[in-house]
Amino acid sequence: MMGSNGFKSFIVVAFSLFLTFAGFSGFAQHGEAPAAHAASGHEAEEAAGFNPGEAILHHIADSHEFHFFNFKKSDGTEVHATLPLPILVYAPQRGFSAFMSSKFHHGHEAYNGYKLEHDKVVAVDANGNIDESVKVYDFSITKNVAQMLLAMIVLALILGSLAKRYMKGKGVTTAPSGFQNAVEVVITFVRDDIAKPNLGPKYKKYLPYLLTVFFFILINNLFGLLPGAANVTGNIAFTAVMGIISLIVILFSTNKHYWEHIFWFPGVPLPVKILMIPVELLGVFTKPFALIVRLFANMTAGHIVILSFVSLIFIFGEMSTTAGWAFSPVSIAFVLFIYVIEILVAFIQAYIFTVLTAVFIGGAIGDHHYEEDVLPHH
């Protein structure tokens, strides 16, 4: 019989292969996408060829449906395995409309006076042409929004179940076990290695926020690695909101010493103080900007690298079928390697965002007596 370690290795490899081939099927769809919109069908597709840049950007962008894979039947009809999402739009001239994205038939048709144009809902006239006179306000539940709601539910279920176990005495009077033990290790790590060293005696006040940030980003990072899932943390809007929330927490944690050091740094000559004012004031906003860009860039880069290796198969395949098949094992090996690295990056980026948030909050509430008492004597 297969040992436990061998069985676990088999599961990991099998799951990785599943993810890889799921990506292949998605790219196969995007290689056929130009034909779906062209009037000449497959002839236009062959002329256009595979566009790796368009396919990669489509995969990492937001959408109005979850796409998993597609296949063609024997009669030539194409079947899409998708999960449609609600379309919620409002136009002053037409009022409010609500329907599922499946009504658009993957963006090829108009419905109820609207259609998808590059994954954006636009108004159309009776002839199917875009009507610029109609202003459309889109409140649709896109896959990024749906996945964030799912991550929030998972976060509430995980931490809520742990809280109930502790309220019942499990894990307090007895040692925690199983999943509770695994999550408790992470919570203890955030408390002892992030909150306490950076926030000192006031760590309990900010620990719930830091735990929420860490787990919320981590769950979305891991969900983004699943086939067909949304790249939420690779969306600049998501990271911007997270950074702005951290900025608000930082600003509400400041005291008069913090602002005195921004506008009139003690212990330095007057000309230097004047020069430092714009620099220090700019630093207030560059801190959350660093949080925003770092998370966005790292998570987006990982997805692009994986999808680039997958696209190489189709690029070589267009040159020669033999070359495409020959390069497939090399591409799969690199994809699996980068995928494992991405799992590690998912944890690292959640940690970096949380620890930098704690550092910035600590700087806002920190003790500035060193600059006031020690620097003048030096």
Q: Spell out the alpha helix ranges (H) of the chain.
A: 4-37, 42-48, 52-60, 143-167, 178-189, 196-199, 203-223, 236-252, 256-263, 270-319, 321-365, 369
Residue with tokens 């449906």: 65
How do the pLDDT tens digits run along the chain, 378 residues long? 334 444 343 333 344 333 333 443 344 334 333 333 333 344 444 445 677 777 787 778 888 888 777 767 777 677 777 888 899 999 988 889 888 888 887 666 888 888 888 788 888 888 878 888 888 898 999 999 999 999 999 999 988 888 887 777 665 556 666 677 788 888 999 999 999 999 988 899 999 999 999 999 999 999 988 888 888 998 999 999 999 999 999 989 888 887 877 777 777 787 877 888 888 888 888 888 999 999 999 999 888 888 888 888 888 888 888 888 888 888 889 889 988 999 999 999 999 999 999 999 988 886 544 444 444 444
Q: Which two tokens stand for residue 132?
A: 């610029």
Q: What is the pLDDT of residue 107?
A: 62
Phi, psi of 206 (to 5 degrees): -105, -5
Residue with tokens 């560059």: 286
Q: Which two tokens stand for residue 57?
A: 């950007």
| Total Cβ atoms within 10 A of residue 195 | 26
Q: What is the pLDDT of residue 160?
A: 85
**CA–CA distance, 144 with 155 (Å, rounded to integer):** 16
Q: What is the pLDDT of residue 212?
A: 92
Burial of 70 (0-12, 13-18, 19+ CB in 10 A): middle
Q: What is the pLDDT of residue 82?
A: 81
Beta-sheet pairing, 78-84 with 86-91: unpaired
Kind and range of the H or E element at 122?
strand 121-123
Q: Do you know the residue count of the chain?
A: 378
Cα 180-186-188 angle, rounded to 5 deg: 95
Q: What is the pLDDT of residue 158?
A: 86
Q: What is the pLDDT of residue 159?
A: 85
Give DSSP secondary structure letters for 35-72.
HHHSTTTHHHHHHH---HHHHHHHHHS--SEEEEEEEE
Looking at the DSSP bridge assignments, the partners of residue 80 are 70
Q: What is the pLDDT of residue 172?
A: 56
* Number of helical (H) and strand (E) elements in the chain, helices listed first: 12, 7
Q: Which two tokens stand for residue 278?
A: 């714009």
Residue burial 156-175, b: 16+ Cβ < 10 Å; e: rest: eeebeebeeeeeeeebeeee
Q: What is the pLDDT of residue 124?
A: 87
Q: What is the pLDDT of residue 77?
A: 73
Burial of 217 (0-12, 13-18, 19+ CB in 10 A): buried
In 170-213, at which residue ranges do the beta strands (DSSP E only) sit? none
Burial of 238 (0-12, 13-18, 19+ CB in 10 A): buried
Phi, psi of 86 (to 5 degrees): -65, 135
Based on C-alpha coordinates, what's the Rg of the chain? 26
Tell me the whole-structure pTM to 2 decimals. Answer: 0.77
